[in-house]
Structure 1
Amino acid sequence: MSTGALRAHLLAARLAGPVATSRESSLRRYRLFAAGDPRVLLGLDPEGGWGEGELLRLMADKCGVSADPAHVSGPEVIDPELTVAALGAFAERLGAAAGARSPVLFGTGHPHRLLGFYACLARALSAAGCDVLTPAQGVGVDMATRFGVRPYRIDYVRGVALVREPGARRAGSATGVHSHSPLPVRIALGALAEAGGPLPELVVGDHGWVCGAGQLGVDAIGLADADDPALFVGEAEGRVAVTVPLDDGVRAEHYGPLARYVLRRARLSGRQEWP
């Protein structure tokens, strides 16, 4: 896929341009981040004093949202040029991992939408000689939800970590639950350390998987929506290597062209086809 075709796809699928994420959602989450709400920090402990104004300017620069604080409603906007540029940097880092045959950990809090994207990359890296890690399989993790603390367990589907409700599905089947928590990646990394490694040289994912890994000093790259400021702050502070701005909630098949573009740019395009 050419850069022009990718840009057209981003706009047609509403991965960028006007997206389903609302301006109200973005501003509310920026306020929560500025207030230090752990639900929005995603495991990141910001070094700077990120007020609402600073966050809005950062998100305008890195994501393309309006920098006007008086713009308070309507659909959010992601600049497709920023998405294309970030996907190029994402591919470069992925290609470097493949060239070095680095151990890699994949994890997602959006399994219903993004599992296929990550699984495609995981298979390509595995074919390139990377060790795709699957630590803490079946280990329980208690996570806070709006209904209180609930038990979940870590599982892997096609090399990609996710969390699911105990007993909901057999291991390795279907997909898990939507999650923002950094606890799963902390448990996974802890299990690797306890077992004597190898530790991942790269974590690929979203939400708490990226921020939680970056906070612990592990190289991390990921995808983030316009209302997820934590990954962009992590990138600005040097704890997240690459953050790709896009809508993370469109239909799963719309991420297929992105996977093909990334693999081609990383010189891994012959390794794997979608999904």
Structure 2
Amino acid sequence: MLSIEALRAHLLATRLAGTVRTLREESLRSYRLFAARDPRVTLGLVPGRDWSDREVMALMAEKCGVSADPAHVTGPDVIDPERTLRALDVFARRLGEVAARRGAVLLGTGHPHRLLGFYAGLADALSAAGCLVLTPAQGRCVDITTRFGVRTCAIDYVGGVAFVRESGARPIHGETGAHTHSPLPVRAVLEELAAGGGPLPDLVIGDHGWVCGAGQLGFVAIGPADTDDPALFVGEAEGIVAVAVPLDDSVRSSYYRPLTRYVLNRACLSQ
């Protein structure tokens, strides 16, 4: 069993929290773009009101622990580990609730290189608890706009976790898929579920567009987010996203394993 003290130390040692690798410049740019409702950072969320970049920064200071000083414009960003721990506990409660009623769960990630293992561990435990882990629309193509133009990506699954890879691509040397912020994959998955008349998810677990896109459509959605991903925290503040966990989403994949163990233990789902 991983104690709170041990997890706090792990968060700081791996820079999942504390001084993180995300730069303040990147975060401030995201706050400005979110205020302008740029789809690259709204991630499928449609805010219920207008947010200025100062308001976004103030919210991120409250939710993540970043600096609320607009004069602080350079250097590494900061996440308060206590906020991460509190959010992980709420995240775990959501897992426990859906497991208790053996609900249907959808898991998806826009960070397959980093977070696939984290979600796959959750999927395995939820399946063992009797939950239905949904894997619809495998192979379905989605056109996603990127800074390199429109790219056609195909939905794929590993360990019950959805992600996208460029259409026609095959995994090479452990390559798992493409990084994306787009909400289009989760919309395609949910559309196929609805069209097929099968069960819809009681809980969506993921990041980026998987959480914001699902939450915007009225599904209970939870997941982690970095300091340059304000959409999840705005969504949480507006009641669209159920839980947003502040942490660096781009460290080594192995560093997320203790988080999986911690939340599963808190949810009484340890195997």
Classify the secondary structure of the residue corresponding to 2:62. helix
Question: Offset of 1:56 from its aligned partner?
Answer: 0.7
Q: How does 1:110-149 map to 2 (within 5 A)?
A: 110-149=111-150
Q: How does 1:86-97 map to 2 (within 5 A)?
A: 86-97=87-98
Question: Offset of 1:61 from its aligned partner?
Answer: 0.2
Q: Distance in 2 between matches of 1:179 and 1:84?
A: 26
Q: How does 1:175-186 map to 2 (within 5 A)?
A: 175-186=176-187
| 2:21 is the alignment partner of 1:20 | yes
Render the CA deviation track for 1:97-136: whole Å, top value 9, x for unaligned: 1001010000000000000000000000000000000011
- The one-letter code of the counterpart of 1:80 is P
- The one-letter code of the counterpart of 2:187 is R
Classify the secondary structure of the residue corresponding to 1:92. helix
Q: Which residue of 1 aligns with 2:59?
A: 58
Q: Distance in 2 between matches of 1:210 and 1:188?
A: 13
Q: Distance in 2 between matches of 1:53 and 1:21?
A: 19
| 2:106 is the alignment partner of 1:105 | yes
Classify the secondary structure of the residue corresponding to 1:221. strand
- The one-letter code of the counterpart of 1:251 is R
Q: Which residue of 1 aligns with 2:241?
A: 240
Q: Which residue of 2 aligns with 1:260?
A: 261
Give me the TM-score of the superposition, normalised by structure 2: 0.98
Render the CA deviation track for 1:222-258: whole Å, top value 9, x for unaligned: 0000000000000000011100000000000000000
Question: Offset of 1:53 from its aligned partner?
Answer: 1.1
Classify the secondary structure of the residue corresponding to 1:47. coil
Question: Offset of 1:31 from its aligned partner?
Answer: 0.2
Classify the secondary structure of the residue corresponding to 1:213. helix
- The one-letter code of the counterpart of 1:60 is A
Render the CA deviation track for 1:191-244: whole Å, top value 9, x for unaligned: 000000200010000000000000000000000000000000000000111000
Q: Which residue of 2 aligns with 1:273?
A: none
Q: Distance in 1 between matches of 2:178 and 2:83?
A: 29
- The one-letter code of the counterpart of 1:75 is P
Q: Which residue of 2 aligns with 1:192?
A: 193
Q: Distance in 1 between matches of 2:101 and 2:212?
A: 23
Moved over 2 A (4+): none
Residue ranges of structure 1 left out of the alignment (5+ in a row): 271-275
Question: Offset of 1:174 from its aligned partner?
Answer: 4.4
- The one-letter code of the counterpart of 2:140 is V
Q: Distance in 2 between matches of 1:39 and 1:74?
A: 23
Render the CA deviation track for 1:122-172: whole Å, top value 9, x for unaligned: 0000000000000110000000011110111000011000000122116xx
Q: Distance in 2 between matches of 1:176 and 1:218?
A: 25
Q: Distance in 1 between matches of 2:152 and 2:168?
A: 11
Render the CA deviation track for 1:4-58: whole Å, top value 9, x for unaligned: 1000000000000000000000000000000010010000000021101110110
Classify the secondary structure of the residue corresponding to 1:200. coil
Residue ranges of structure 2 left out of the alignment (5+ in a row): none
- The one-letter code of the counterpart of 1:50 is W
Q: Which residue of 1 aligns with 2:161?
A: 160
Quick one: percent identity of the two aligned structures?
A: 71
Q: Distance in 1 between matches of 2:90 and 2:161?
A: 21
Classify the secondary structure of the residue corresponding to 2:19. strand
Q: Distance in 2 between matches of 1:190 and 1:90?
A: 25
Q: Distance in 1 between matches of 2:231 and 2:197?
A: 30
Q: Which residue of 1 aligns with 2:221?
A: 220
Render the CA deviation track for 1:81-101: whole Å, top value 9, x for unaligned: 000000000000001010010
Q: Distance in 2 between matches of 1:102 and 1:236?
A: 25
Q: Distance in 1 between matches of 2:252 and 2:258?
A: 12
Classify the secondary structure of the residue corresponding to 1:15. coil
- The one-letter code of the counterpart of 1:129 is G
Question: Offset of 1:75 from its aligned partner?
Answer: 0.2
Q: Distance in 1 between matches of 2:248 and 2:49?
A: 26
